Amino acid sequence: MLCSLYNGNVHIWNYDTQQLLKSFEVCDLPVRVAKFVPRKNCTCRLCPVVGHPPHSAVYDMTIKLWDWDSKWQCKQTFEGHSHYVMQLVINPKDTNTFATACLDRSIKVWQLGSSQAKFTLEGHEKGVNCVDFYHGGDKPYLISGADDHLVKIWDYQNKTCVATLEGHAQNVSSVCFHPNLPVILSGSEDSTVRVWHANTYRLETSLNYGLDRVWTISTLKGSNAVAIGYDEGSILIKLGREEPAISMDSSGKIIWAKHLEVQQANLKSLGAGIEVKDGERLPLTVKDLGACDIYPQFIQHNSNGRFVVIYGDGEYVIYTAMALRNKAFGSGLEFVWSADSNTYAVRESMSSVKIFCNFKDSLTLKLPAAAEGIFGGTLLGVRSAAYLSFYDWDKGMLVRRIEIAPKQVFWSDKELVAITTEDSFFILRYYADIVVSDDGIEDAFEVISEYSDVVKTATWIRECFVYTTVQNRLNYCIGSEIVTVSHLDRPMYILGYISAENRLYLSDKDLNIVSYLLLQSVLNYQTAVLRNDFDTADSLLNSIPDSQRTRIAQFLEKQGYKKQALSVSQDPEHRFELALSVGDLKLAYSLAAESDSEEKWRQLSKVATTKNDFALAGECMSRARDYGALLMLATSCGSKALTEKVASDALTAKQYNIAFLANVLLGRSCIFRSYLLVAGWKESLSEINPKLAKSLADPTQYENLFPNLEEDKKVEARLNELRDHFLPASAYANMPVSLVIPSCSGNVFSGLHDFSVSFVMCNDRASNIIPIPYRPSTVA
């Protein structure tokens, strides 16, 4: 959004994030006009009130045309106004024509090439501040606003005033026709923006945001957004709803409205040779059906697709769907179809709802509370402030009253109904054969499930509820599960499902039709599983293509049927996870071998360990290079060969801590004082720092500094004798300490301050090693 300010600055805002993107310091005077120029790659054309700016109409009572590409050369001057020229606007239907608003109380229409005005429109009693052309091709209109507080609509072909809009209390400073909606916008110094109906000129609403005087109003073609500039700031609002007026019947015939023009497209026109991809726009052939008498806000087919209703401006017209011939019409606040193709209801007022059968008035409902909305379907729903009431279509009898504030109601072909609210939706089952009492049917509805998801548009495919969300996700709900079909890149609106094509069709606000594959066989399979009807599910499995098998497997996994999911899934990653989950180690091993992933081998080793398959666990740990776990397995099993392999492989893999520990357990290393290294250390250090080398205490020279050194040497000598002589594992239980450690005075391991347990290895007939704990406190 581009904003020119009175202080001489120009700002560019991102109205989605409400962040200031760029600020320009143009001049010290007010900036009169700022405009995006799309063909110049979104550069800004700025018109400050200094001298006479480019392509301008300002205070010297003339209009000048400047050539952008010719170094701003003045090409033409238009003269004729006798006061300040306040605004210039180019005719969107004829860019050689433009109109100007002037304080001399006139509007002049000009033609490029002529310095004199083609004609002048007069009628305002005071200076004219603003002017705008009508964007559509059906009316040669322009609009003006002036200091006489009036807004006038002009027919510039007949040069007559068509209508005068009254209501503003101060000068009208900005007016415009909305390019998409049938509304007129006018802003005034009375701080209000008034919205008028472009056909009836009726005041629809008045907006006042308390930001002082209104100076400018701007619209965006293709959007319902409107930007408004005030003394105290600028705001952006959206008028109406962006959901298009469009409907599709069960055979694939689509009817939509572009302004007053009604058009039709048929999905069968795509032909068999066209490859349809999910989310891609369909190249449909469009047929014009003619113009509508009212501005369409809502279009909907009846249940069999024979008739279509167009509603707007408080009126409805029912047409034949093929040729758009008028069948019935009337007025009302809302219109809904019944599940019966010849029955519909109209909310005429807050207290009156009429039901029509075969296009004739059938009955009128007596409502106990004001009706704020109605919903069609198997039953007629009436929304009030506190509850939702369902009525029978034939007799108008109350079926059930539910205390809920519904937003929409969607009925399936059978007995299911979805009721959506502002932050969730409910799935209920309707029992039509229950006996009716005077207070309605107490058990007519059963709540099946509730979901905390916001539904935007929806439809039913048998017992599957398909919907779009405000986060632009396409989901379907079956049973208690919600499955995401696709993440949409823009807001989409569901049109319907064609079972013969197995595709769901959607439209965006610009009437671009897209589709997504949603196999009915998959939905039927999932429904059968939820009913525990596995015979039917197995019979349907062959009709499901391989590309959908993994999705089916994921659904089965969520339901707790992991073995069935494993037999169905086609994804190796998913099958590996399922194989681990059900304990099929043989299949998991083959899948891990195919991918040779260290992470998979590590996962399989853990499961194999819990299943006591230590041979498989050891192989998996080795392939995963998990030498720490492999060393623990080797010592737990007492395998000398495996410990030697860990020591060698860990050393090759540069995992020195594990290699060292393995060698310690094999008796090839000893954690002890390194007194033998002192001489080499001093010799090496003397080359760098002789003084520091002399300060090192040598245990052979200063035995008093190393207590129990002689005992330590005896232990070392004894361990060297036992290093290569392993005892059988069976000797562990009866082996006295004297066989392992000789009697010494004092604690021979007193020097190992950081270790409470040392180990000596025993060897059995199978060359297994067993660690024997030695506790120094037991040695005398």
- Whether the model pTM is above 0.75: no
What is the pLDDT, as a whole number, of residue 388? 93
Q: From residue 349, how far is each of 197, 299, 406, 536 by CA, in Å?
A: 21, 21, 19, 50
Report how far residue 341's alpha carbon sits from residue 358's, in angstroms, rounded to the nearest whole number.
9
Say how far apart CA 616 and CA 606 lie, in whole Å: 10
DSSP assignment letter at 179: S
- The label of the residue with tokens 């050891």 reads 618
Contact yes or no for 665/638 (Cβ under 8 A) = no
CA 114 to chain centre: 54
The residues, ordered by sequence, that sit 6+ positions from 213 with a Cβ below 8 Å of its Cβ are: 170, 173, 188, 189, 190, 191, 230, 231
Angstrom distances, CA of residue 433 to CA of 413, 430, 672: 16, 9, 89
Per-residue tokens: 283: 């190249």
User: Beta 315-320 vs 307-312: how paired, if at all?
Assistant: antiparallel
Three-state secondary structure string covering 543-572 = CCCHHHHHHHHHHHHHCCCHHHHHHHCCCH
305: left (phi over 0), alpha (psi -120 to 50) or beta: left
Closest Cα to residue 259, out of 356, 114, 406, 138?
Answer: 138
Determine the pLDDT at residue 40: 60
What Å distances lie between residue 430 and 598, 635, 668, CA to CA? 54, 66, 80
| Domains, the chain, ordered by start | 2-238 (2.130.10.10), 707-780 (no CATH)
Provide the sign of the torsion angle of the four alpha carbons 563, 564, 567, 573, taken in this order.
negative
**Which residues touch 191 (CB under 8 Å, ≥6 apart)?**
208, 209, 210, 211, 212, 213, 214, 230
User: Tell me, what DSSP letter sits at residue 639?
Assistant: B
Residue with tokens 């540069």: 654
What phi-psi label fits residue 663: left (phi over 0), alpha (psi between -120 and 50 degrees) or beta? alpha
Structure-block tokens of residue 451: 């979901």
Please tell me whether residue 153 adopts helix, strand or coil conformation. strand
Burial class (CB in 10 A: 0-12, 13-18, 19+), 692: exposed
How far apart, in whole angstroms, are the C-alpha atoms of residue 7 and residue 29?
6
Separation of CA 775 from chain center: 64
Angle at 237 between CA 234 and CA 239, to 5 degrees: 150
Cβ-in-10-Å burial (0-12, 13-18, 19+) of 624 comes to: buried
pLDDT recorded at residue 545: 86
Q: Which residues of the chain have pLDDT under 50?
A: 42-55, 739-780
Contact 188, 147 (CB under 8 A): no
pLDDT of residue 716: 74
